[in-house]
């Protein structure tokens, strides 16, 4: 089986990177990590990658005059690794529209909310403040608008009456670690394609069905 080569871009601790490392270590997983790339030389995720024996690269955004030059170097590194899918995993840099377009439908991101709700930062605080009974996480194809693009996989996580942002974030992170490898598997198996539905883009997953159960919160 020829595995889909992926590049994982990180800026921090790399917990979702670790979930992908663990998944790719399974002999039946249809993807392999060709490169772990960080814009921060002190990102702990780089240590995770080295521990797993994976190729790493640091491209410090501070060394470039502008985003265009930085993104060009990213593109060169990713292309040179042979990766055919880019996985953003806590990569805290906005990418230029030209870079996003070059990797259109070949770049995915994970976000800690049920998009399109709560794009951007402080998602858990905002969900709690809004009184949401459910929050969650989303894997989606990347578009030039922040936290936008066709949704591939989502996980819904109930909020608890005593939740603060830290407790909610910890439960959502557990779900993130499950759905990111799931999304990569679906793409590597050729089961995801993007189509226009009523003028809007939608990621369609072949051979998959939505769960039939309805969730209630509170479960009274």
| Residues labelled catalytic | 111
All residues at 6 or more sequence positions from 27 whose CB lies less than 8 Å from its CB, including other chains = none
- Across the strands, what pairs with 57? 37
Q: Contact at 8 Å (CB) between 7 and 184?
A: no
Q: Contact at 8 Å (CB) between 47 and 207?
A: no
d(CA 118, CA 127): 7
Helix axes 44-51, 15-24, angle to 10 degrees: 10
For 71, which DSSP code?
H
d(CA 76, CA 201): 28
d(CA 1, CA 18): 23
Q: Which of 153, 9, 18 is nearest to 87 (CA)?
A: 9
């Amino acid at each position: 089986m020829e595995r889909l080569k992926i590049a994982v871009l990180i800026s921090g601790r790399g917990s979702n990177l670790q979930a992908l490392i663990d998944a790719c270590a399974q002999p039946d997983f249809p993807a392999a990590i060709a490169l772990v790339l960080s814009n921060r030389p002190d990102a702990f995720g780089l240590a995770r990658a080295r521990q797993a024996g994976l190729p790493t690269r640091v491209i410090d955004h501070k060394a470039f005059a502008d985003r265009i030059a930085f993104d060009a170097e990213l593109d060169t590194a990713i292309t040179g690794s042979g990766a055919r899918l880019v996985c953003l995993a806590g990569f805290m840099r906005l990418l230029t529209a030209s870079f996003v377009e070059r990797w259109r439908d070949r770049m995915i991101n994970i976000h800690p909310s049920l998009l399109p709700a709560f794009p951007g930062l402080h998602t858990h605080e905002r969900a709690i403040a809004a009184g949401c009974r459910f929050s969650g996480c989303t894997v989606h194809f990347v578009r030039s608008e922040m936290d936008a693009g066709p949704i591939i996989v989502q996980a819904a996580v109930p909020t608890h009456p005593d939740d603060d942002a830290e407790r909610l974030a910890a439960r959502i992170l557990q779900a993130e670690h499950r759905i990111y490898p799931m999304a990569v598997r679906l793409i590597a198996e050729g089961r995801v394609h993007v189509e226009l539905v009523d003028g809007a883009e939608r990621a369609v997953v072949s051979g998959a069905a939505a769960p039939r159960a309805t969730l209630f919160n509170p479960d009274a």
